[in-house]
Amino acid sequence: MTKKYFGTDGIRGKVGEHPITADFFLKLGWAAGRVFANEGHGFVLVGKDTRISGYMFESALEAGLTAAGVDTRLLGPMPTPGIAYLTRTLRAQAGIVISASHNPYYDNGIKFFSVQGTKLPDEIEQKIERHIDSPMSTVESSKLGKAKRLGDAAGRYIEFCKASVPTRLDFSGMRIVIDCAHGATYHIAPHVFNEVGAEVVTIGAEPDGLNINDECGATKPERLAATVLAYRADFGIALDGDGDRLIMVDHKGEIVDGDELIYIIAKARLDAGQMTGPVVGTLMTNLGMEHGLKQLGIDLIRARVGDRYVMEMLAAHKGILGGESSGHIICLDRTTTGDGIIAALQIMAEMQDSGKSLHELKSAMQKYPQVLVNVKTSKKINPDEDEGIQKTVKVVEKKLGGNGRVLLRASGTEPLIRVMVEGQQEDLVRNYAHQIADDVKKAMGA
């Protein structure tokens, strides 16, 4: 059954435009409350990131849940993985996150976690959607829900993060820079890394409601790289607005992306005898990571783009580690969802155990040059069915042999065809990508 409102990662859009409006969130809170009330008794956690519209949507959700007769525990600003953790450990009926993740402040969204700390099953989302499209009602006054602030939420999550690495490890010799993207980790990440012993320099930790992800964080790590060099730090950690992405910077100021970080964690788990199942990446995962894992004897399975699909593949193949180049890293042997802070701690643990710098660890995997060209589409075309495009693709794939690949896919959020080519020689890869992009334009009559 096709869903009307929920996408692959909840509901997201521009504030003030349907469905990201106060009246819709009121109705959504009520609809979710009706479903949760039917599923059992208990309370629902509501957390948010630091964007200004979070106040409005938090109030609307609280009102809707209350009208449906469901109790609410308000967490305030809290990283998405922290809400997943608290939902599980507090045995809440569900956790609700008000966030648009790495998007600018003028966007917002919502996603739900189940009592297991994982994304809601499709059937629950479909039940919520059916209630959204029905008239809203209010339970009798004696059955109205109540709302409370949960004062120790941050402290609980900080302790959980610290417990994801052995207490025997001493990080006191490390100087690190943390970029919190003016987001939900601003009051948590500095404490975590300071309390495990590291010397911490913090940037991007002064949210004003409008500066979340603004030229900072995991999507813009250039400022972090400059700060690492200025402070002669051992490495830098860039989180995104809701704390579920991680990009790092080594002591030379070089960016270390999600693929390289996943490889480092996989090798560490293998060396410790703790690696089980394959690593799950996506269609965009670098071929160099696949080849590097193969040399270690670890299989890579590719899922569709999106952490939801990575999670589904991990469950299906009994894996413990997966993620995306963008920095979503899922360590299922430590937590239930992508978590930037916990992933960074795993990298630090391997640096300490191996005695190697982040630069040395990432150098064990050779990334292949990857060129992505976005072609704006004026009409709907299927590149897999166009003879001209496929002819060029086959020629390019033959030239690349086993040392490269071609991927064409339609964007799920924009009118674009994404043309990706990777191989060992960057100039050739770039030429091939533009060659295929030109064929896509011809297919549209451009």
What is the reported pLDDT for 63?
98
CB 332 within 8 A of CB 314: yes
User: Are residue 381 and residue 271 in the same domain, yes or no?
Assistant: no
* 403 DSSP 8-state letter: G
Which of 53, 99, 101, 114 does the annotation list as catalytic? Answer: 101
Mean per-residue pLDDT for 64-79?
98
User: Are residue 15 and residue 146 in the same domain, yes or no?
Assistant: yes
What is the reported pLDDT for 413?
59
What is the reported pLDDT for 383?
82
User: Which of helix, strand or coil describes residue 92?
Assistant: coil
Domain of residue 329 covers 257-342+350-363
Q: Which of 332, 363, 394 is the last residue of a domain?
A: 363
Annotation says 378 is catalytic: no
In a domain, 354, yes or no: yes
User: Are residue 431 and residue 375 in the same domain, yes or no?
Assistant: yes
Q: What CATH number does residue 397 fall under?
A: 3.30.310.50
Q: How far apart are CA 59 and CA 222, in angstroms?
A: 36
pTM over 0.85, yes/no: yes
Q: What does 225-258 look like in DSSP terms, one character per residue?
A: HHHHHHTT-SEEEEE-TTS-BEEEEETTS-EE-H
Count of domains for the chain: 4
User: Are residue 176 and residue 140 in the same domain, yes or no?
Assistant: no
Q: Which of 333, 363, 393 is the last residue of a domain?
A: 363
Question: What kind and span of H or E run contains 407?
Answer: strand 405-410
Higher pLDDT, 280 or 4: 280
Mean pLDDT for all residues in the chain: 94
pLDDT value at 21 more than 90: yes
Q: What CATH number does residue 252 fall under?
A: 3.40.120.10
pLDDT value at 279 more than 90: yes
Mean per-residue pLDDT for 57-68?
98
% the chain with pLDDT above 90: 86
Predicted confidence band of residue 38 (pLDDT cuts 50, 70, 90): confident
Amino acid letter at 328?
A: H
- pLDDT tens column, 82-138: 999 999 999 999 999 999 999 999 999 999 999 999 999 889 999 999 999 999 999
What is the reported pLDDT for 305?
87
- pLDDT tens column, 283-296: 999 999 999 999 99
Mean per-residue pLDDT for 306-326?
95
The tokens for 28 are 């959504």
Q: What is the Cα 272 distance to its own chain's centre?
A: 26
Q: Which residues pair with 321 in a beta bridge?
A: 279, 331
Predicted confidence band of residue 412 (pLDDT cuts 50, 70, 90): low
Question: What kind and span of H or E run contains 48?
Answer: strand 43-48
Q: Which residues contact 371 (CB under 8 A, 6 or more apart)?
A: 420, 421, 422, 426, 429, 430, 432, 433
In a domain, 304, yes or no: yes
What is the reported pLDDT for 443?
80
Q: How far apart are CA 14 and CA 112, in angstroms?
A: 19
